Structure 1
Amino acid sequence: MNARKNLFFTPEVLLHEGISPERCIVWGPGLDPDAVLPVRYFFIQAVSPEGRNLTLSPGKGTFKVKISPLNKEEYIRIHVPPPLDRGDGSFLMRYRLYGSAVEGLKVEVLHLDVAVAKSPYIVKGPVYHEYCVCPESDASVWQSVLQCPANEPQILADFKSFPTIDLQHLRQEVPLKFSNRGGLVHYAIIDNKVYRRTLGKYTDFKMFSDEMLLSLTRKVRVPDVEFFINVGDWPLETRTEGALPILSWCGSTDTRDIVLPTYEVTHSTLEAMRGVTNDLLSVQGNTGPPWVNKTAQGFFRGRDSREERLQLVSLSKKSPELLDAGITGWFFFRDREKQVGKAPLVGFFDFFKYKYQVNVDGTVAAYRFPYLMLGNSLVLKQNSQYYEHFYGHLKAGAHYVSVQRNLSDLLEKIKWAKENDAEAAEIARAGQAAARDLLQPSRLYCYYHRVLLTYAERQAGRPTQQADMELVTQPDDHTAACTCRQEGNKTGPSKNEL
C-alpha cells in the first residue's frame, strides 16, 4: 500500500514509473471544431509505461490542460477548469467558450509539464461558441461529427403508433383533447426559425423546450416541422385507437407519448459550468470514494412526491444498518410530516459516499436516475411504468438492480448486494459505463434531432406558422460576434451580427 502511495503521489516516480505521457490517450468531441456544444469536452486516459490503461485514480492533479486562441491577438474568454478525475484512470476535460476562435484553438495536455499523447492539439477555426447562429446545412455531416447513432430503439418504438401525422387533424384535435390538461406548447419550426403558441394554464416550463430548440437550430438545419410538446409532468395520450402524437419529457407503458430527454438533463447540459452545479459531466468527477471505501448501506434523500418514499423512511427506521432514508421536503403528504420526520438536506455528490443508491419514482420517473447511474454506486431501481428516453438501453441485473414496486424486496436486495460485493460492484461499473455513453451531451442533441427528423418524415400537410404563434428569438450576444463559415470556405456575418 505504501508503494502505491509513493507511485501515485511522488512526482518523479509518477512520471517515470506510473504514467507514460506519450502513451496516454486523448480523444473526444472537444478536439473537433465542428462539434459545437454548450460545454465542449474530451477525455484523457492515463497509461503506464508498459502500455496498460490505469484503472485506479493516479491523483486529481495528474494532468493539466491549457487552452488558448491560435491568434494571440484574439481575446476570448474561455472557462478551463481542471480535468475531472473519474476515479478509474480516466479524466474528463471540459471547457466553455464565451467567444468564437476565428483561427482556432491550441489545446495543451500536460503531465508534470511534459506533453501528453499528441499534445498540443490544434483545433482549426472557426471554433464557434454556444450562441453562434451558424447551423450546418447538411444534417448528415452534423450527425457524423457528433457520432450520432444510426437509430434509437425508443424513437422507433414511439413512432410505431404514428406512421402518418396529419397536421390539419392534429391542429384541430390536440387543443380540444388536451388544452385543459395543464401545459401544452404548439411549435412550428420553419426555415430553421422557431415559432410557438401556448395552450393551458401551466406553460412556464416552455423556457426549457424553447432553449433546447433554439440551441439545436443554431447548430444544424432542422426540417420544417410542426408539433406539440407537453411541458407538464405526466404523459398524456392514453388511447391506442386514434392516438395523437404528443412529445413529452417522460413516457409510460400506459401512454403513447413520444419521449424526449427530460427538461432537467437538457437544461443542465445547456447551463453546465455556468448556471447549474449538477450536470451530466460534473457528476462524473464527483462520485465519492472508491467502491471499497463507500458505506455499505442503501441511501435515499428526497421530497415526499410518492408514498413509497415515505415507506423508505419506515424501512430505514426498522433496519438502519441496511438503509439510510429521509424526506427532505414536504408538500404532498404534509399531514404525515410529524410522524415521519424531516431530514436535513444532503449535497447530491455526498450521496456517493454510499454503495447502494435507492431510486424511487417521484410524481413520474425520478429525474435523478441518470445522475445516479453516472456515479460509481449500485442503483436499486423501483419497478415503474414510467421511463426516460434512454431506459430501453439498460437491463435489470446487468446495469442496475430492480426492486418491487411496493419495495417489499428492497432490504433483501441490499442484503444480497452486501453478501455479493464483487457482483454488485460489477453491475455498478457496467451501469456507469452505459450511462457515460448514453448520456453524453452530444447524444442529447442527436436524440432531439432524430425525433424531429422522424416526425418530419411522417408529416402529411405543410408545417405552418399559426396566426397566434410568436417567433422565439435567438438570444443576443453582442459581446462575442460570430463569423460563420460559408460554402466554398468564404466567411460572412452570422444572423446575430446583422
Structure 2
Amino acid sequence: VFFFLYIYIYILRTIMANLHELPGAQADSVPSAAKTLVWGPGLEANIVLPARFFYIQAVDSSGRNLTASPGEKTFEVKIVSPVEEFTRIWIQVLDRQDGSFLVRYRMYATYTDLYIHILLKNKHVANSPFILNGPVYHEGCDCPQSSGSVWETHMHCPQSFPQIDRDLALYASVDPERNAQEIPQRFGQRQSLCHYTVKSNKVYVKTFGEHVGFRIFMDSILLSLTRKVQLPDMEFFVNLGDWPLEKRKPTEKIHPIFSWCGSNNTRDIVMPTYDLTESVLETMGRVSLDMMSVQANTGPPWPEKNATAFWRGRDSRQERLELVKLSRAHPNMIDAAFTNFFFFKHDESLYGPLVKHVSFFDFFKYKYQINIDGTVAAYRLPYLLAGDSVVLKQDSSYYEHFYNELRPWEHYIPIRADLGDLLEKIQWARDHDEEVKKIALTGQQFARNHLMGDRVFCYYYKLFQEYAKRQVTEPNIREGMELVEQPSDDLFPCSCHRTRVGDTK
C-alpha cells in the first residue's frame, strides 16, 4: 500500500511541476509584469476627457495574452503628482473577464504632472510609471486648444465618419440667415427646438416649443467641447424630440436640423444620442450605465449563459407587444416582459402583469439580446454590443450615428421588422454556438473601438467642423438668445497655460 501511495504522490508531483509547460494550463493564468501590455488615451496628457481611461492586457511569461481573468485585484494602479501631497483623483480598475482590464479615472483638479504607477505584486508593469507631462487638465478646466487640427491629432480622431459625410452631402451650402427666419416658422410652433450660435467659442441659445428640458444634454456637450478646443463660429438648430423632422425630399428646399436619431425617410443630421452623450459626460458621475461600466459587468462566461433570448422594456411600439406575445407562446426560447405601460395602457391586462426592473448588467446572463425599436431607435444598442452576448437586431428605418458602420451577421444577427423570423433566428443561434460567439465578440470589439468617450467627442467636433465649412453667411447672436454659462469651478480653478481666445488682437 505504501509503495503504491509513494508512486501516486511521485506522479502527482511530476504533473504539478510540469503543469506550467502545458499550453492553456496554469501558465496562462499567471501574468508577467514585464510582458503585460498597457495602452490607451488616459496615458496622454493632451487627451482631456470627463473620465480618462486606458487598458491593461495581461500577458504570461511566454508572451501569450491571457484570455480569462487572473483576478480582479491582480493589478494595482496609483496616480500621483510629484508636487502635490494629495491628488483628487478617483480610480477604478475594471476587470473585463477576458484577460484585459479597463482602468478609468476622473480628475477633480488640474495637476502640473501626473505619474501613473501600474503594479503587479509590487513590480512595475510594462513601462510604468507612465508620466503625463503637464499641465494635466481636469474636465472642468476651461482651456481650449486654439487649433482644431492639433486637437484632432492629439485625440487620434479618424479622418472622417461615414454618417457625417452621408448627412452633410445633402447640404452643399448652409445659410444661417435664411435658416434663422425659416426654421422657427416651419417647426417652432409644433416642435421643441434649440437655436444655437457658437461665436468666439462661446455658446448662445434660444429655445422654441414647450418641452425643452432635453436642452441640458446639448448645452453640456457644447460647453465641454469649448473647454477643450476652439469650435468654429456656427449657427444651427437642434431637435429636442424623439422623431427626426426634415421629411422633404432632397430636391425640395430642405432645412438642416440636428437630431439624435435619423430615419430612412428624413434628412436630419444625426448626432450621438443624448443617452450616449450623457453617459460619456457623467462617467463616474451621476450615471451608472456607461460604455465602461458595461465592460466590467458582462455576466457569466459564454458557456454558462442562459440560451434564451432576453428583453425588458416599456410598451412603446406594437412590435414590442408582439414580442411579449411570442414569449408567452415560447417561454423556452424567449424571456420578454414589460416593466412599464404607457402607450398601450388599455392592453395591460393582455400583456401584463408588469415585472420588476432588471439591472442592465443582469441582461448578460443571457446569450441572446433582442434589440427592438421604441418610439424610435432603441438607444440601448451601444451598451448591448459592449456586453458579452449576441444582439438580435430588428430591421428598422431608424438609426443612430454609428449604424452605418455595423454589418449584419458580422456584428449582430438581423431579424425582420415584424419579428416573423425571430424564433427561427434563435434556433439558428442555438445550432451554431461557435459562430454566434464570434459575432458577439466582433460586436463587442466594435463597441470598444467606436463608441467610447474619445470617439464621441471626435464625432461631435468633426460634425461641427464640416457643417461650419458649408455656411455661406455669417453666424450671428440672434435676438432673444442667451449666453450658456460655463459651470463655476470655484473649489478647484485651473490656470490655463494657453493664450486665451480673444485675449490678444
The reply to whether TM is greater than 0.5 is yes
Q: What secondary structure is seen at the aligned counterpart in 1 of 2:73?
A: coil
Equivalent position amino acid for 1:95 in 2: Y
**Do residues 173 (structure 1) and 185 (structure 2) align?**
no
Q: Structure 1 stretches (4+) deviating beyond 3 angstroms? A: 13-17, 492-495
Candidates 273, 286, 292, aligned match of 1:281: 292
Map residues 71-86 of structure 1 onto 2, 5 A cutoff. Answer: 71-73=83-85, 75-81=86-92, 83-86=93-96
Match of 1:59 in 2: 71
Q: Which amino acid aligns with 1:299?
A: F
- Equivalent residue of 1:124, what SS? strand
Write the letter of the residue equivalent to 1:340: Y
Matches for 1:330-349 after TM superposition, within 5 Å: 330-341=341-352, 342-349=354-361
Q: Once the 2 structures are TM-superposed, how far is the Cα of residue 322 of structure 1 from its aligned partner? A: 0.7
Equivalence map 1:247-266=2 (5 Å): 247-266=258-277
**Cα shift at 1:321:** 0.8
What residue number does 1:408 align with? 420
Shift of 1:481: 1.0
Deviation track 1:206-252 (CA, whole Å, cap 9, x = no partner) reads 00100000000000000100000001100000001111100000000
Paired residues of 2:175 and 2:473 also in contact (CA < 8 A) = yes
- 1:94 matched to 2:104? The reply is yes
CA apart distance, 1:17: 7.0
Residue 408 of structure 2 corresponds to residue 396 of structure 1: yes
The structure 2 residue matched to 1:198, chosen from 194, 201, 207, is 207
RMSD after superposition:
2.0
1:314 maps onto 2:325 in alignment: yes
Q: Contact 1:17–1:49 (CA<8 Å) still a contact in 2?
A: no
Q: Is the 8 A contact 2:192 2:239 kept in 1?
A: yes
Q: Give the Cα separation in 1 of the matches to 2:28 and 2:63.
A: 13
Residues 17 and 228 of structure 1, relative CA distance in 2, 3 Å threshold? closer
- 1:92 aligns to what SS in structure 2? strand
1:377 aligns with 2:382: no
Give the Cα–Cα distance (whole angstroms) in 2 for the partners of residues 231 and 55 of structure 1.
Answer: 43
Instruction: Report how far residue 55 of structure 1 moved.
Output: 1.8
From 142, 147, 150, the counterpart of 2:156: 147
Question: Which residue of the partner structure matches residue 115 of structure 1?
Answer: 124
Letter in 1 for 2:125: V
SS of residue matched to 2:104: strand
Q: What is the DSSP-based 3-state SS (H/G/I as helix, E as strand, rest coil) of the residue aligned with 2:460?
A: helix
- Counterpart of 2:493 in 1: which secondary structure? coil
- Aligned residue for 1:459, secondary structure, equals coil
With the length of structure 2 as denominator, give the TM-score of the two structures: 0.92
**CA–CA separation in structure 1 for the residues paired with 2:34 and 2:384:** 34
1:132 to 138, 141, 151: 141
Counterpart amino acid of 2:110?
A: S
Residue 423 of structure 1: how far off its partner (Å):
0.4
1:213 pairs with 2:197: no
Residue of structure 1 in register with 2:11 after alignment:
none
**Change over 3 Å in CA distance of 1:285–1:378 after alignment to 2:** same
What amino acid is the match of 1:250? C
Provide the secondary structure at the position in 1 that maps to 2:135: coil
Shift, 1:182, TM fit: 2.3
One-letter amino acid of the structure 2 residue matched with residue 106 of structure 1:
Y
Contact persistence 2:28–2:64 (CA under 8 A):
no
| 1:6-17 map, 5 Å | none
Is 1:361 the counterpart of 2:373? The answer is yes
Match of 1:125, SS state, is strand
Could you report, residue by residue, the CA deviation over 1:30-68 in whole angstroms, capped at 9, with x for unpaired residues? 011110000000000111111111122222122111111
**CA gap 1:171/1:494 in 2 versus in 1, 3 angstroms:** closer
1:26 to 38, 47, 59: 38
Report what 2:12 is aligned to.
Answer: none
Percent of paired sites with the same residue: 50
Structure-2 change in CA distance of 1:154 and 1:78 (3 Å): same
Q: 1:261 to 1:493 in 2, by over 3 A?
A: closer
CA-CA distance at 1:119 after TM superposition: 0.7
SS state of the match for residue 291, structure 2?
A: coil
Q: Could you say which residue in structure 2 is the equivalent of 1:424?
A: 436
Q: Supply the AA of the counterpart residue of 1:126.
A: P
2:28/2:66 contact within 8 Å kept = no
Q: State the one-letter code of the partner of 1:464.
A: N
What is the letter of the counterpart of residue 377 of structure 2? A
Q: Which of 67, 80, 85 is the matching residue for 1:68?
A: 80
Structure 2: distance between partners of 1:431 and 1:494: 45
- The answer on 1:437 being equivalent to 2:446 is no
TM-score by length of 1: 0.94
Query: Cα distance, 1:169 vs. partner?
Result: 1.2
Deviation at 1:85, TM superposition (A): 1.1
**1:389-409 superposed Cα distances (whole Å, 9 cap, x missing partner):** 011111011100111001010
Q: In structure 2, the residue corresponding to 1:484 is in which secondary structure? A: coil
Q: For 1:76 and 1:163, how far apart are their aligned partners in 2? A: 49
Query: Are positions 1:329 and 2:340 aligned together?
Result: yes
The alpha-carbon deviation at position 274 of structure 1 amounts to: 1.3
Shift of 1:124: 1.2
Question: Contact conserved, 1:482 with 1:494, CA < 8 A, in 2?
Answer: no
Shift, 1:69, TM fit: 1.5
**AA in 1 matched with 2:418:** N
Q: How many residues align?
A: 481
Computing the radius of gyration from Cα coordinates, the structure with the larger value is 2
Distance 1:88 1:348 in 2: 20
Match of 1:159 in 2: 168
Q: Which residue of 1 aligns with 2:3?
A: none
Question: 1:226 aligns to what SS in structure 2?
Answer: strand
Q: Aligned equivalents of 1:68 and 1:293: distance in 2?
A: 40
Deviation, structure 1 residue 76: 3.2
Q: Distance in 2 between matches of 1:141 and 1:14?
A: 46
For 1:192, give the aligned amino acid: N
